[in-house]
Structure 1
Amino acid sequence: MKMSKSVEVQHCAVQFLSSTTDQIEIRERNLQISTEAMKMKSWIETVKYILQSMEDGEITISAYDTAWIALVPALNGSSEPQFPSSLQWLINNQLQDGSWGDPLMFLIRDRIINTLACVLALKTWNIHSLGVNKGLSFLQTYIPKMNDEHDAHTPVGFEIVFPALMEDAKIMELDLPYDAEFLQKIYDERDLKMKRIPMKVLHEFPSTLLHSLEGLRDKVNWEELLKLQSKNGSFLFSPASTACALAQTSDTNCLRYLNEITKKYDGGAPNVYPVDLFERLWTVDRIERLGIARYFESEITDSLEYVYRYWTNQGIGWARDSPVKDVDDTSMAFRLLRSHGFDVTAEAFNHFKQDDQFFCFFGQTKQTVTGMYNLYRASQFSFPGESILEEARVFTKNFLEEKRAEKQLRDKWIIAKGLKEEVEYALKFPWYASQPRIDTRMYINQYRVDDVWIGKALYRMPIVNNKTYIELAKADFNICQSIHRTELHGIIRWYRESGLDELGLRQDQIVKSYFLAAIAIYEPDMASARLAWAKSAVLMAAIRIFFSGENCFAHHRRQFLDAFTRWDGRAMRDSPNSAKRLFSCLFRMVNLFSVDGVVAQGRDISGDLRHRWEHWLASEAEDLTDAQDHEKLGTEAEIVVLTAAFLGRETISPDLISHPDFSSIMKVTNTVCSLLRRIATYKEEGCDSPSGTEEDDRLKRRAEEGMGHLVRAVYRHQYSPVPSGVKRLCLVVGKSFYYAAHCNNEEVGNHVETVLFQPVY
């Protein structure tokens, strides 16, 4: 018989464990892992220092913003620049081709906006004529080529500030192509944006135009605008916009803000400052997705507590006390804060919806891929009744799928080589179906230290994109993988020695059972819980095979249940040998878990375990019609959760197990997992539910609703005696069942191969 892709991959994986050649390869790999492990301590300390040292955000210097600061005349009325160090920075940082900008990435519009601003600043003060001429030569060559570049990578506010700079250049009689036909498109974009945010609105309410005031300086009333100034003296945290305001108003708060920046950056200035919320959120997100968050739990908590101090019911921006909120930062904050137990409301997302669409900012003319991607991720952390998140999920999923179909998964905020793969993976595996080890394995391939962000000019975030993170992530993944392979080898040996193969339980089922546990709770110190999950799942599968076999009659099932209830294998004396072996295996396993539980819990847990198994066995032993079996509420999830919790990190008292809150979350978990197991069974058998596709859809809707209730039970900000670790384990198990129902055999087989047997380099 021809093996399925899943069976074939898993069979090859097991063969890999035992061949002589590969044993040599494993030893060599283990030596490499030992070397990586020695480096990990240093990497962990480095990352801890980075996280503990975060302040207002580390961000590279923008020649464009520095040029605007250099343009400010001395406030004392002299003919000197107010910031001579900024002028000197421009002179020192011109590139070989005569342009200014990111030296490692060439984008025409970025280089043009930087170079045009720098040339104007130097020309204004009549210095560095050689640099001015080289800059003009660059502009004359590349301005006509602007339309050759994709619009997705246009600098922020380009349609506002570029026309204004060209007008300044024309007044200064610089030799540039002012009347080129292709420039009209940019002017049209400016007019469209100005219509969406009229001048009256600009002067009354904070908007993104505050970030680009230098492009509107002849059109605004500066005295009126001062009331919209941010607490730190800036205009929406833009050095360029604030420098223009200072030149127009001589405002001391603007001066204070710019003095602080130029002192920090030795005359230079980033394109936005501060970026404290953005940096913390994106760094935590990267560290979690790389699978290394457990090393930095206190630092992550500190970062999220900092963000939470500035959370509002209208969302947040990229910096503290921002008068303008955006859906990108709000989505990232909402998802991370909710997943860490902070009390945040979905009400914030109402502020980013207009008619039937969601936008990143008020007045935005089109959506961005990353903004909608992060909103899509956040929307999946919804509680029942949060309709705004359901609307956001539907809208963003459709938007991203359309962009994928059009091959337009590019973004206006970031140039990230892995973005396309990130979005495609998120669409294929929604959060309910996602699993930590698979997510990490994929994200290690997608993460780049050389991502470039797009503001008014290109910039980089060295704390968000950091080489140490990826080095630590790869080493950690390989160490965990090595541990998992060893455990899998032991599970397979246990399966063979226990004679479970003679019951018809296939080896690929053993691999899958272990894999589902390992991708959910992967940490090395959770080995006991992981193995308990896997072995419990294997034995439940074996018992189901035995109970449903042609030669297993009702009295055999009753005898098995009776022997377990009495906790006496002698009651199995009239049963087939296969049944005796199966009972013996279950008996030994529960006893071993009970012994381990005494060590972990400091008390006897055997009664709790036996009670759960007895209840499950009684349910499985019943003679039911297909319809009755279809509606049966299974309790296998409760066995997995309770056993893993007993052998994990949480202390679970007898009083807790009998508490209504504990019973409630277990009921939700059992219900969800029963529905999902039914769906997975039908999918594995290649058929719909017995009642047809309509019933199949009903099952899926009920499972989705159940997952929403489980998410609320885990993340709702409300006191419960149930430890957070136990609640999260319920969700972890629920998501594992969802993954099994969501994926086909080929996908699971590919994930087994990738996660358990392919090291990362």
Structure 2
Amino acid sequence: MESSLSSIQTRVENIKGFSSNFDMYLFVNPSAYDTAWLAIIPDSKYPSQPMFKSYLDWLLNNQNLEGFWGESDTFGKPTIQALSATIVSMVALKKWKTGASMIQKGMSFIDANGEKLLNEVKENCPLWFAIVFPATLELAEEIGLEVAFPEAALEIISYISRCRESYLNKEEAVGNLHYYPQLLSYLEALPRCYVSEEDISNNLSKDGSMFQSPSASAKAFMVTGNQECLTYLQSLAQKFPNGVPQAYPMDEDHIKLCIVNQLQKLGLGENFVGEIEVLLAEVYRNYNEQHSWVKGSNMIATQLHKDSLAFQLLRMHGYKISPSIFCWFLYDDKIRDEIEKDYDQFSSAILNVYRASNLGFREEYELDEARSFSRNFLHKFVSAGNGDMKQIEHELNIPWFTRLDHLEHRMWIEEKEANVLWKGKASYNRISHHYNNELLQLAIQNFEFKQSIFKKELEELKRWTEEWGISNMGFGREKTTYCYFAVAASTTFIPHDSYIRMLSAKSGIIITVADDFFDMIGSSTELEALTYAVGRWDSKGLSSHSKTIFDALDNLVSEVNGRYLLQEGTTDISRSLQDLWYETFLAWLIEAKWSRNGDTPSMDYYMKTSMTSIATHNIVLPASCFLKPILPKEKLRPIQYESLTKLLMILSRLLNDVLSYQKEKEDGKLNSVFLNMVESPELDIEDSIACIRETIGEKRKEFFEHVMIDDGLSDLSKPTKLLHLSCFKVFQMFYNSKNTFDSDTDMVENINKAIYLPVSRTIKPLSPRPVIKLNNQNLSSVYRSNNKRMDFTAHQVSPFALINGYGKVFMPMKIGLGFI
């Protein structure tokens, strides 16, 4: 165990060592597609040589073992974006008459895998792929590179061509919108007739780039020979000798946010607490110092992704941040229209908007609107069958506040798209291979180390329940494993504090057994005797089940007090703990009398009693005495509980009531759903449930506000607040769409994933298919439009026949919306 922890700590320190004086761009994987375009540019003085030989060398040294260049998922498998990158990389090698064996290997990759990758867009082809992919095929043919695809893929390629024609016919290359990816940003892939040299020159940015895109800028330079454009490209070569990014400059604060997000989603946040604090403080300071928001020319999706991610992370870490930081898109009808028009381009950003909307406080109405907008968008996206739906369906179907962190970490470790940062022009920006591998290995090791701890603690807990006789009472629910799983999987912010987990789980077990005793088999005499025994903390006169429950509780209280004395010296908390438990037993007794006597209390009296009987405060407050900083003794059993604790008690009760009302009706027990109907006779059962759910929604927002914001009105520490949040999420998980706590089977799969099953990291490999070569005749048929050829004569420079490396030549060309 110690050696495993030491190994994790060593790996953490190694990663921190790599990150000292960290260049943020090193966290983002280079773009093979853009690098290949720079490798294609001839030298101005020596046109028979590449201007940027280092990028040609990069291509020669960075072909994947499977034969592709470009984008791969977390486990190294190619994505559809790799097709275009591979073809352009082969074009660059062919142009400079090098890497013949690598070209052949790339061809073999396409032969074997092209059909499967193209199947991803056979029904819904995104704009970027429809523009870029056919252009790379035409570029390859122009240089004499015969690209082979499986025969079955030809129909898909024909469909992609039709999509391209449709996009080009309805979109202008140069538009008036300054926030949406104009077609001109895909300059390197546009037909030669489509854009004039004047349009290109007029749309170059002040830094000489074409929309901050290295590939588009490379083409712009080859067309215009613009010196500012050349300066931009040379600055890329100087700053990025090992492959260029997909865009430059990038927003470094965006990268910082992505680093923090990745660490947390992999379950590594506790290993990099200081680093995360520094990064978020820098981002927050920059937002505060930003006097006006300046949108990038075609970066609206990227900006929205960044701002919504900043809101999530900063709010979760206690910063006072307004939803307006990302809700600006709601107030621009043109932006909203463009978002709804292009699902693919905005899906990643809108998914982040939806995640951000989980963290709403009271009266944040624009956040409610953002949630409604993003939810509708994502449902439409799913209905349209666009791409990989796994993450979106997970967000839509399982609310954030019902998900336990440990299981979320496992899901992200196993997610093949976990290395995605944000959507770029023609592919995703992904974590660099080096950092992805290092972080993934650390995350797996860390997760499985926690599993080894959890298994041992659970066995110890089972021995404790057997020793004190509460594992086999002969009635009610035996929930030792459920209680431990819920605590362990939800309290990842205290990864190595075994005692807090054990204390919380033991408390949950005793609560379950005692609650069932009061509900099921205890006679009125037994219940009163047990309650008053707890009140005087003396088991005299108890027997059978009553004595078993009291003895287990006495053992727990003595253990907690003894450990607290060792920690704090002379401070004794036994009386506070006893009072805390007596309050709960008294609430159980009152409820039992209501049920047996047929009493109907007011809703107010019911809630005051039942929020105590749900006993969440019995779990979080004693455990908080062992957090750092500790819960002060006077907060353990105060005259008035903190607002956060009261909200936890109320929410837990209402969640339980909504999912248990039918069973409790059959058992003759009271429930807020029924009492609501008694006090408001006009309500039917569905109306009453809706009313309770609305109350839960409002109280939940208030609860989140107390957890996430230090308003100076609460003395509770951040770890104590997080423990409250963990307890709340457990109740939301157990009482989400049905009462899973009472089921013996509903949680088994999650328990196995959390504690027993090793992490799965395998995906099905791509398999070869029969192939056919795309020769001139095939390409002509693929790019035929309505059985008519579209002929154009273009005044355009060829990237392979430049005068002194740049300038313009006249080339009569027949093209089907392409380079043919």
- 1:642: how far off? 0.8
What residue in structure 2 maps to residue 433 of structure 1? 402
Q: Give the counterpart of 1:499 among 469, 476, 486.
A: 469
Matched ranges for 1:63-78 at <5 A: 63-69=32-38
Contact 2:31–2:243 (8 Å) recurs in 1:
yes
- 1:499: how far off? 3.0
Letter in 1 for 2:751: V
What residue in structure 2 maps to residue 675 of structure 1? 654
Instruction: String of CA shifts for 1:37-94, please: whole Å, max 9, x gaps.
Output: 554233222332344434224444445434544566778x997889342674488479
Kindly indicate whether residue 703 of structure 2 is the aligned counterpart of residue 710 of structure 1. yes
Kindly indicate whether residue 354 of structure 2 is the aligned counterpart of residue 384 of structure 1. no
- 1:201: how far off? 3.7
Contact 2:627–2:719 (8 Å) recurs in 1:
no
What residue in structure 2 maps to residue 530 of structure 1? 501
Query: Would the alpha carbon gap of residues 561 and 323 (structure 1) be closer, same or farther in structure 2, given more than 3 Å must change?
Result: closer
Equivalent position SS for 2:246: coil
- 1:532: how far off? 1.7
- 1:264: how far off? 4.0
Q: Which sits farther off after the overlay, 60-69 or 640-649?
A: 60-69
Q: Give the counterpart of 1:539 among 499, 510, 534.
A: 510
Query: Would the alpha carbon gap of residues 340 and 395 (structure 1) be closer, same or farther in structure 2, given more than 3 Å must change?
Result: same
- 1: CA distance, partners of 2:143 / 2:16: 51
What residue in structure 2 maps to residue 187 of structure 1? 165
Query: Would the alpha carbon gap of residues 584 and 311 (structure 1) be closer, same or farther in structure 2, given more than 3 Å must change?
Result: same
What residue in structure 2 maps to residue 729 of structure 1? 723
Structure with the higher fraction of residues in helix conformation? 1
Contact 1:600–1:646 (8 Å) recurs in 2:
no
What residue in structure 2 maps to residue 596 of structure 1? 563
- 1:35: how far off? 6.8
Matched ranges for 1:566-605 at <5 A: 566-567=536-537, 569=538, 573-602=540-569, 603-605=571-573
- 2: CA distance, partners of 1:295 / 1:318: 35
Instruction: String of CA shifts for 1:114-138, please: whole Å, max 9, x gaps.
Output: 6469759986xxx54998xx89x98
Q: Give the counterpart of 2:329 among 338, 352, 362.
A: 352
What residue in structure 1 maps to residue 486 of structure 2? 516
Kindly indicate whether residue 275 of structure 2 is the aligned counterpart of residue 299 of structure 1. yes
Query: Would the alpha carbon gap of residues 666 and 686 (structure 1) be closer, same or farther in structure 2, given more than 3 Å must change?
Result: same
**Please, what TM-score do these two structures have when normalized by structure 1?**
0.76
Query: Would the alpha carbon gap of residues 315 and 430 (structure 1) be closer, same or farther in structure 2, given more than 3 Å must change?
Result: farther
Letter in 2 for 1:286: Q
- 1: CA distance, partners of 2:648 / 2:127: 46
Q: Which sits farther off after the overlay, 660-669 or 585-594?
A: 660-669
What residue in structure 1 maps to residue 785 of structure 2? none
- 2: CA distance, partners of 1:753 / 1:108: 34
Q: Give the counterpart of 1:637 among 602, 608, 616.
A: 616
- 1:596: how far off? 1.7
Contact 2:52–2:237 (8 Å) recurs in 1:
no
Instruction: String of CA shifts for 1:91-110, please: whole Å, max 9, x gaps.
Output: 84797999975698677875
Query: Would the alpha carbon gap of residues 153 and 469 (structure 1) be closer, same or farther in structure 2, given more than 3 Å must change?
Result: farther
Kindly indicate whether residue 688 of structure 2 is the aligned counterpart of residue 695 of structure 1. yes
- 1:645: how far off? 0.5
Contact 2:37–2:218 (8 Å) recurs in 1:
yes
- 1: CA distance, partners of 2:747 / 2:291: 41
- 1:433: how far off? 0.4
- 1:186: how far off? 0.7
Query: Would the alpha carbon gap of residues 37 and 505 (structure 1) be closer, same or farther in structure 2, given more than 3 Å must change?
Result: farther
Matched ranges for 1:166-181 at <5 A: none
Contact 1:279–1:463 (8 Å) recurs in 2:
no
- 1:643: how far off? 0.8
Letter in 2 for 1:372: I
Letter in 2 for 1:56: Y
- 1: CA distance, partners of 2:577 / 2:405: 27
- 1: CA distance, partners of 2:752 / 2:491: 18
Matched ranges for 1:154-233 at <5 A: 157-158=128-129, 183-194=161-172, 199-202=175-178, 211-212=185-186, 215=190, 218=196, 221=199, 225=203, 229=206
Contact 1:638–1:666 (8 Å) recurs in 2:
yes
What residue in structure 2 maps to residue 490 of structure 1? 460
- 2: CA distance, partners of 1:229 / 1:40: 47
- 1: CA distance, partners of 2:560 / 2:399: 34
Query: Would the alpha carbon gap of residues 667 and 651 (structure 1) be closer, same or farther in structure 2, given more than 3 Å must change?
Result: same
Q: Which sits farther off after the overlay, 151-160 or 503-512?
A: 151-160
Letter in 1 for 2:271: Y
Instruction: String of CA shifts for 1:395-444, please: whole Å, max 9, x gaps.
Output: 444554555566x3515xxxxxxxx4444433332111001122223333
Equivalent position SS for 2:496: helix
Contact 1:281–1:304 (8 Å) recurs in 2:
yes
- 2: CA distance, partners of 1:375 / 1:257: 33
- 1: CA distance, partners of 2:77 / 2:262: 23
- 1:183: how far off? 3.5
Kindly indicate whether residue 579 of structure 2 is the aligned counterpart of residue 608 of structure 1. no
Instruction: String of CA shifts for 1:161-217, please: whole Å, max 9, x gaps.
Output: 67888999999999999x9897453132134343xx963445xx7865674455575
- 2: CA distance, partners of 1:78 / 1:735: 65
Instruction: String of CA shifts for 1:716-759, please: whole Å, max 9, x gaps.
Output: 36445431112222111111111111253333232223323323
- 2: CA distance, partners of 1:175 / 1:448: 31
Matched ranges for 1:49-198 at <5 A: 49-52=17-20, 53-69=22-38, 83-85=51-53, 88-89=56-57, 92=60, 111-112=83-84, 115=87, 119=91, 128=97, 150=121, 157-158=128-129, 183-194=161-172
- 1: CA distance, partners of 2:25 / 2:643: 44
- 1:513: how far off? 2.1
Contact 1:327–1:360 (8 Å) recurs in 2:
no
- 2: CA distance, partners of 1:363 / 1:279: 27
Kindly indicate whether residue 587 of structure 2 is the aligned counterpart of residue 619 of structure 1. yes
**What RMSD in Å do the two structures reach over aligned CA positions?**
4.9
**Please, what TM-score do these two structures have when normalized by structure 2?**
0.71
Matched ranges for 1:266-281 at <5 A: 266=241, 268-275=243-250, 276-281=252-257
Contact 1:114–1:457 (8 Å) recurs in 2:
no
- 1:490: how far off? 2.6
Contact 2:471–2:480 (8 Å) recurs in 1:
no
Matched ranges for 1:390-405 at <5 A: 390-401=368-379, 403-404=381-382
What residue in structure 2 maps to residue 480 of structure 1? 450
Contact 2:60–2:99 (8 Å) recurs in 1:
no
- 2: CA distance, partners of 1:700 / 1:586: 34
Instruction: String of CA shifts for 1:696-728, please: whole Å, max 9, x gaps.
Output: 333233223222211111113644543111222
Q: Give the counterpart of 1:329 among 306, 312, 318.
A: 306
What residue in structure 1 maps to residue 768 of structure 2? none
Count of residue correspondences? 701
Larger RCO (CA within 8 A; separation ≥ 6): 2
In structure 2, stretches of 5+ residues that fail to align are 148-153, 678-684, 761-820
Q: Which sits farther off after the overlay, 743-752 or 52-61?
A: 52-61
- 1:533: how far off? 1.4
Matched ranges for 1:245-256 at <5 A: 254-256=229-231
In structure 1, stretches of 5+ residues that fail to align are 1-32, 412-419
Query: Would the alpha carbon gap of residues 359 and 542 (structure 1) be closer, same or farther in structure 2, given more than 3 Å must change?
Result: farther
Letter in 1 for 2:631: I
Instruction: String of CA shifts for 1:524-554, please: whole Å, max 9, x gaps.
Output: 532222222122222222332333355522x
Query: Would the alpha carbon gap of residues 714 and 358 (structure 1) be closer, same or farther in structure 2, given more than 3 Å must change?
Result: farther
Equivalent position SS for 2:735: helix
- 2: CA distance, partners of 1:683 / 1:491: 32
- 2: CA distance, partners of 1:97 / 1:551: 68
Letter in 2 for 1:462: S
Q: Which sits farther off after the overlay, 496-505 or 537-546?
A: 496-505
Query: Would the alpha carbon gap of residues 49 and 403 (structure 1) be closer, same or farther in structure 2, given more than 3 Å must change?
Result: same
Instruction: String of CA shifts for 1:346-391, please: whole Å, max 9, x gaps.
Output: 1234333466996886984656543333332222122222233333
